Structure 1
């Protein structure tokens, strides 16, 4: 064996599904390969049906739930450990997802904030007090509310944010005192398992957290359908989310699904700002965000000026080796996804659209692509295109813009670029979405603010640390003479 082959073999990460901290043994392995060069990054020992049942039983048998201060200490320690291992986690995210190293570092910063805000919430009393003597029928009593942990939660996470999506589900659940079984994406499981190990190291009692990967029928479907599970929190595709809604049974369901988010540029907009936000929203994270800019809607009086500037800005988003610090756009998750996006572009071109920049594919790399004259019924407009595509559509007036923005099945986020407060308020009121950001990308938020969509983007239940803690709890009321 050549020296470079020995080094490559030594660098392969060997992990396993974990039941309360203990690795499973099944003889079945998942190989995780780099989307960029196809090298083997790591392996994961898969769980079977018996392991899934064992994880549920172990969590329910459990042990004592850490008190609020203990939960704070664990999450805060995890935050510190994550910062200490920032480079290690960033390299792992890039290796298994193909995201450029700059995006991986950014994601670690976001996950740090999730842990920080979840830890802070542990130190707050989120109960309320109601005086009962406020009506003629009242009494000299007070009603108090308190939040209690649920028995067991299941978290199912996608590939596009291998660390932050995991943190966004696990940290609020643990802050609530609710045990969790995590089922991460089989495309990016290594980061998720390493994060679970980090939480154990931070002092988390093992019975509070397990992580499983395996055949869908033996792991994910069982976790979704088991009556002993109190809540399923899922982020992923619309099709899978709707299937979960049909099959989960009598339990809480949190669905954060796809997006087809517009960036709407009015003729009074600051064009420089509009161009910058359009590029950042379309190309960051290789366009693989549910809140990425999927449609750029520009008022017809400025569409030519905007397009000229936007093409020049898009040229700055270099595509290539995700491990290179100079790369701004890495791969999409795999070659199959890149081929799908390539076909979506070609279908739009066949309908009359024009590719002004990019559009070329090399394996899982797809160049940032600017497309104009895109028909309103094109596939890339009506459906979610999960990649670095920037279709430009023009609109006549505000009525037309609102109708166009609301014309798809999705309702997650939106961004409006305008200097007219009256116009801004109208968009806030009339867009059928969960978020409207003025002079900002659709995806802007902080990690503890409410987040979620309507229509095919979700059931309207909000995530974000504070809302998620409520979802992973139940409210109990009690009253006393006063």
Structure 2
């Protein structure tokens, strides 16, 4: 497909209420507060550029502080609207939403390709994963059970019983990153609403359109007005959302630096922070090198490496390092890069030119410090060529910093013990993996690595969240997953019954 072809975002009539077209034909999207789609009174717009060629494909409002605070007020006042809806009715709303997403799948896929630069296969996968997450969360929501605790095992509580139940926390602020603009945001919104909370959502200004389409879907599915509110704008909106005392929980995915700032300013509220990562892969001498090379390349290049669970450091035992590196280079050749509208492309552009330049800086620094470039190593505009850099020394920045780009970084180690020690020195602790057929070594690594997840003989992948994931150290707070996300957005309440009026009072002590 020609890179010179003019790019324009086209949507079906179903989405007409959420945008208008400017005189130049570019769609201008509205925000959603209290069931009303509207433009910000600020009159300020933010351009949404496509990483395909840098052209403007859409515009969104830049919300004012007053509008952000109104969104929170509306969400706070709307809490009874959703928490008092029977759970089965909430599930029916989301069942309808799942059908609507699939009905308008092409609109979602097209938008993801244009605003995020995703190859078609990845965009389709993100839509499928969103529907899968929705369906699985609906099933898990049926398991929001309580607990019965008899009191007769203690002198202090004999004659009493307790019921421990889960209740919604209240207003949840969901702040989402650019790399999976539909899936990550929906994975926050879906469990929050199913658990009976209200939501104020803020998506990255790099690619906010797909999530607005999702909000339109939920609106049509019957979510009560005011229970889901969408604000768009620059990152500074977080400064208005996070400290607000009417917000009960913050669910944030993004950089460690921003997460640290959120933790400092949030005040007394629940925090779920999924932050940066430096996914480590360890390849031992007995590993299936073909499998390891294939999975490490996929883990490094998928979504152009823009994944918090990406493999961004491959540590290989010296005796097999050269052979492994050759297999990696061969595998990288299977990952065609280019215009994401080309169905054969597997690696599209990174999100913007600044990101491409940052990745270039990491690769150049490694080369200057002695690493060998085996493939790629350059970019044109937002298109970073899938790269392999070998024998990377520990003094290189790329050995420690999150890459977030399509680079396979290979480092030599003497044993798994050296890899464990390197891992301990990392500020991050999100994901890791090991390739070996030695049970004792895989178990030792799994036990000693300070990461939230260790995968054996495969790449780390959070997928639809069927397994829980989350970080240690500077990679975050809390756990995400089908049921775990619901737990993060609920709180326990203990209800104690005194049964003495029913003749079930304190038992007499028996002394032996």
- Decide which of 158, 164, 174 is 1:155's aligned counterpart: 174
Offset of residue 52 of structure 1: 1.1
The alignment yields a C-alpha RMSD, in angstroms, of 1.9
Which residue pairs with 1:212 in the alignment?
231
Change (3 A) 1:20 1:465: farther
Offset of residue 106 of structure 1: 1.0
Change (3 A) 1:21 1:137: closer
Which residue pairs with 1:69 in the alignment?
88
Q: Establish whether residue 52 from structure 1 lines up as the match of residue 68 from structure 2.
A: yes
Q: Is the 8 A contact 1:437 1:444 kept in 2?
A: no
Q: Is the 8 A contact 1:275 1:306 kept in 2?
A: yes
Offset of residue 215 of structure 1: 4.3
Which residue pairs with 1:376 in the alignment?
394
Offset of residue 140 of structure 1: 4.5
Describe how 1:27-106 pairs up with structure 2 within 5 A.
27-62=43-78, 63-65=80-82, 66-106=85-125
Q: Establish whether residue 123 from structure 1 lines up as the match of residue 142 from structure 2.
A: yes
Structure 2: distance between partners of 1:329 and 1:408 = 28
Q: Is the 8 A contact 2:9 2:58 kept in 1?
A: no
Structure 1: distance between partners of 2:195 and 2:347 = 37
Which residue pairs with 2:322 in the alignment?
304
Q: Establish whether residue 462 from structure 1 lines up as the match of residue 479 from structure 2.
A: yes
Structure 2: distance between partners of 1:82 and 1:245 = 34
DSSP-derived class of the 1:133 partner: coil
Q: Is the 8 A contact 1:16 1:46 kept in 2?
A: no
DSSP-derived class of the 1:207 partner: coil
Offset of residue 444 of structure 1: 4.5
- Point out the more displaced range, 103-112 or 208-217: 208-217
Structure 1: distance between partners of 2:411 and 2:51 = 31
Structure 1: distance between partners of 2:187 and 2:172 = 13
Structure 1: distance between partners of 2:8 and 2:60 = 20
Structure 1: distance between partners of 2:479 and 2:433 = 19
Change (3 A) 1:364 1:478: same
Q: Establish whether residue 473 from structure 1 lines up as the match of residue 487 from structure 2.
A: no
Q: Establish whether residue 315 from structure 1 lines up as the match of residue 303 from structure 2.
A: no
DSSP-derived class of the 1:348 partner: helix
Describe how 1:192-341 pairs up with structure 2 within 5 A.
192-217=211-236, 219-341=237-359
Number of residue-to-residue matches in the alignment: 478
Structure 2: distance between partners of 1:357 and 1:323 = 24
Q: Is the 8 A contact 1:159 1:188 kept in 2?
A: yes
- Decide which of 464, 467, 470 is 1:449's aligned counterpart: 467
- Point out the more displaced range, 109-118 or 282-291: 109-118
What are the Cα deviations for residues 317-372 of structure 1, in whole angstroms up to 9, with x where unaligned?
11100111100000100011101111111111110111101112110000110000
Offset of residue 54 of structure 1: 1.3
Normalization by structure 1: what TM-score?
0.95
Q: Is the 8 A contact 1:113 1:447 kept in 2?
A: no
Q: Establish whether residue 17 from structure 1 lines up as the match of residue 26 from structure 2.
A: no
Q: Is the 8 A contact 1:184 1:192 kept in 2?
A: yes
Offset of residue 64 of structure 1: 2.1
What are the Cα deviations for residues 190-211 of structure 1, in whole angstroms up to 9, with x where unaligned?
0111111111111111211001
Structure 1: distance between partners of 2:212 and 2:66 = 20
Change (3 A) 1:458 1:4: closer
DSSP-derived class of the 1:391 partner: strand
Change (3 A) 1:94 1:445: closer
Q: Is the 8 A contact 1:262 1:442 kept in 2?
A: no
Which residue pairs with 1:362 in the alignment?
380
Structure 2: distance between partners of 1:110 and 1:377 = 38
Offset of residue 479 of structure 1: 2.7
Which residue pairs with 1:172 in the alignment?
191
Runs (5+) with no aligned partner, structure 1 = none
DSSP-derived class of the 1:467 partner: helix
Structure 1: distance between partners of 2:231 and 2:340 = 28
Change (3 A) 1:471 1:429: same
Change (3 A) 1:100 1:215: closer
Structure 2: distance between partners of 1:307 and 1:420 = 22
Change (3 A) 1:462 1:4: closer
DSSP-derived class of the 1:194 partner: helix
- Decide which of 361, 366, 391 is 1:348's aligned counterpart: 366
Describe how 1:346-425 pairs up with structure 2 within 5 A.
346-425=364-443
Q: Is the 8 A contact 1:48 1:215 kept in 2?
A: no
What are the Cα deviations for residues 111-145 of structure 1, in whole angstroms up to 9, with x where unaligned?
11211122112322421222222345552443211
Structure 2: distance between partners of 1:112 and 1:7 = 23
Structure 2: distance between partners of 1:117 and 1:323 = 30
Structure 1: distance between partners of 2:9 and 2:464 = 41
What are the Cα deviations for residues 266-301 of structure 1, in whole angstroms up to 9, with x where unaligned?
111111110111111000000000000000111111
Change (3 A) 1:116 1:317: same
Q: Is the 8 A contact 1:93 1:191 kept in 2?
A: yes
